[in-house]
Amino acid sequence: MNHSISIETFEHLVGLAALELDASQAEYLLRELNNQLKAIQELEAIPLGDAIQITSHGVPYTVQTSPPPREDVWQPYPDPAEILSQAPEYQEGYIIVPEIPHTDLE
Protein backbone atom coordinates (compact mmCIF):
# COMPACT_ATOMS: atom_id res chain seq x y z
CA MET A 1 0.00 0.00 0.00
CA ASN A 2 1.33 3.40 -0.86
CA HIS A 3 -0.75 6.17 0.63
CA SER A 4 0.04 9.80 0.48
CA ILE A 5 -1.57 12.77 2.17
CA SER A 6 -3.69 14.79 -0.23
CA ILE A 7 -3.96 18.57 -0.19
CA GLU A 8 -7.51 18.26 1.17
CA THR A 9 -6.46 15.98 4.03
CA PHE A 10 -3.50 18.23 4.74
CA GLU A 11 -5.71 21.30 5.00
CA HIS A 12 -8.06 19.44 7.30
CA LEU A 13 -5.13 18.47 9.55
CA VAL A 14 -3.87 22.05 9.60
CA GLY A 15 -7.27 23.18 10.83
CA LEU A 16 -7.45 20.48 13.50
CA ALA A 17 -3.94 21.38 14.65
CA ALA A 18 -5.00 25.02 15.07
CA LEU A 19 -2.37 26.26 12.67
CA GLU A 20 -2.28 28.71 9.77
CA LEU A 21 0.43 28.23 7.16
CA ASP A 22 1.74 30.40 4.39
CA ALA A 23 2.23 28.82 0.98
CA SER A 24 5.93 28.03 1.35
CA GLN A 25 5.45 26.44 4.78
CA ALA A 26 2.54 24.39 3.50
CA GLU A 27 4.55 23.17 0.52
CA TYR A 28 7.52 22.16 2.72
CA LEU A 29 5.39 20.47 5.37
CA LEU A 30 3.25 18.48 2.93
CA ARG A 31 6.35 17.27 1.09
CA GLU A 32 8.11 16.22 4.31
CA LEU A 33 4.97 14.54 5.66
CA ASN A 34 4.71 12.44 2.54
CA ASN A 35 8.42 11.61 2.61
CA GLN A 36 8.08 10.48 6.24
CA LEU A 37 5.00 8.50 5.34
CA LYS A 38 7.05 6.56 2.78
CA ALA A 39 9.49 5.64 5.55
CA ILE A 40 6.61 4.69 7.85
CA GLN A 41 5.14 2.40 5.22
CA GLU A 42 8.15 0.13 5.67
CA LEU A 43 6.32 -1.08 8.79
CA GLU A 44 3.58 -2.60 6.64
CA ALA A 45 5.97 -5.25 5.33
CA ILE A 46 6.56 -6.73 8.79
CA PRO A 47 4.57 -9.88 9.50
CA LEU A 48 2.72 -9.31 12.76
CA GLY A 49 0.82 -12.29 14.11
CA ASP A 50 -2.19 -11.74 16.31
CA ALA A 51 -0.12 -12.73 19.34
CA ILE A 52 2.04 -9.62 19.14
CA GLN A 53 0.60 -7.07 21.52
CA ILE A 54 1.36 -3.39 21.61
CA THR A 55 4.19 -1.98 23.76
CA SER A 56 3.20 1.46 25.01
CA HIS A 57 6.47 1.84 26.91
CA GLY A 58 9.51 -0.40 26.83
CA VAL A 59 10.24 -1.14 30.48
CA PRO A 60 7.58 -3.22 32.21
CA TYR A 61 6.12 -1.67 35.34
CA THR A 62 5.37 -4.24 38.01
CA VAL A 63 3.74 -3.78 41.38
CA GLN A 64 7.25 -3.79 42.86
CA THR A 65 8.70 -1.16 40.53
CA SER A 66 5.69 1.14 40.23
CA PRO A 67 5.51 3.80 42.89
CA PRO A 68 2.28 3.63 44.89
CA PRO A 69 -0.31 6.21 43.82
CA ARG A 70 -0.03 9.50 45.63
CA GLU A 71 -2.64 10.47 48.15
CA ASP A 72 -5.27 12.57 46.42
CA VAL A 73 -4.61 15.59 48.57
CA TRP A 74 -4.83 19.23 47.53
CA GLN A 75 -1.42 20.88 47.78
CA PRO A 76 -1.82 24.63 47.38
CA TYR A 77 0.91 26.44 45.43
CA PRO A 78 2.40 29.09 47.71
CA ASP A 79 1.98 31.97 45.28
CA PRO A 80 -0.83 31.58 42.72
CA ALA A 81 -0.37 35.21 41.64
CA GLU A 82 3.09 34.28 40.39
CA ILE A 83 1.63 31.56 38.17
CA LEU A 84 -1.10 33.87 36.95
CA SER A 85 1.45 36.55 36.09
CA GLN A 86 2.77 34.27 33.31
CA ALA A 87 -0.57 34.53 31.49
CA PRO A 88 -0.44 36.96 28.56
CA GLU A 89 -3.60 38.74 29.78
CA TYR A 90 -5.26 38.50 33.18
CA GLN A 91 -7.36 40.58 35.52
CA GLU A 92 -8.51 40.14 39.11
CA GLY A 93 -7.45 36.53 39.26
CA TYR A 94 -8.94 35.59 35.89
CA ILE A 95 -7.19 34.79 32.61
CA ILE A 96 -8.70 36.83 29.81
CA VAL A 97 -9.43 35.29 26.42
CA PRO A 98 -11.23 36.63 23.37
CA GLU A 99 -14.77 35.64 22.45
CA ILE A 100 -15.27 31.89 22.65
CA PRO A 101 -16.99 30.72 19.46
CA HIS A 102 -20.34 29.06 20.01
CA THR A 103 -22.00 26.50 17.83
CA ASP A 104 -25.60 25.51 18.44
CA LEU A 105 -26.01 21.77 18.28
CA GLU A 106 -28.90 20.63 16.16
Partner 1 sequence: MTPMDLCDQPAYELSLLLRQKQITAVEIVESCLQRIEAVDGRPGALDSGNLTAEDETKVHAFITLTADHALAQAKEIDRKFSAGENAGPLAGIPFTVKDIFCVRDTPSTAASRILANFNAPYTATPVARMKAAGGILLGKVNLDEFTYGSSNESSAFQPSPRNPWNPAHVPGGSSGGCAASVAAHEAPLSLGTDTAGSVRQPAAFCGVVGVKPTYGRVSRYGLIAFGSSLDCPGPVAGNVIDAALMLQTIAGPDQHDSTAANVPVEDYLAALEQGVKGLRIGLSPDYFRITFADPATNEYSQQALPTEIETAVRRAAERLAGLGAEIVEDVPMPHTRYGIPAFFVISRVEAASNLHRYDGVKYGHRTRQAVMDLGDLYRKTRSEGFGLQPKLRILMGMYVSAAQYSAQYYRRALRVRTLIRRDFEDAFDPIGKYRLDALLTPTTPATAFEIGAVYGNSVMMQYADQLTVPANHAGIPGISLPGGLDKNHLPIGIQLLGPDFSEATLLRIGRAYEIASASDAWRKIKPLVLRQPDML
* Binding residues vs partner 1 (CB under 8 A): 5, 9-10, 13-14, 16-21, 25, 28-29, 32-33, 35-44, 46, 48, 52-59, 61, 64-67, 69-70, 77, 82-83, 86-89, 95, 97-101
Question: In the complex with partner 1, which residue's Cβ is closer, 100 or 105?
Answer: 100
> In whole angstroms, how close is the CB of 65 to partner 1 at the nearest point?
5
Q: 101: which DSSP letter? A: P
Cβ-count burial of 96 within 10 angstroms (0-12 exposed, 13-18 middle, 19+ buried)?
A: exposed
**Alpha-carbon span 11 to 83, nearest angstrom:** 35
**Alpha-carbon span 106 to 100, nearest angstrom:** 19
> In whole angstroms, how close is the CB of 70 to partner 1 at the nearest point?
6
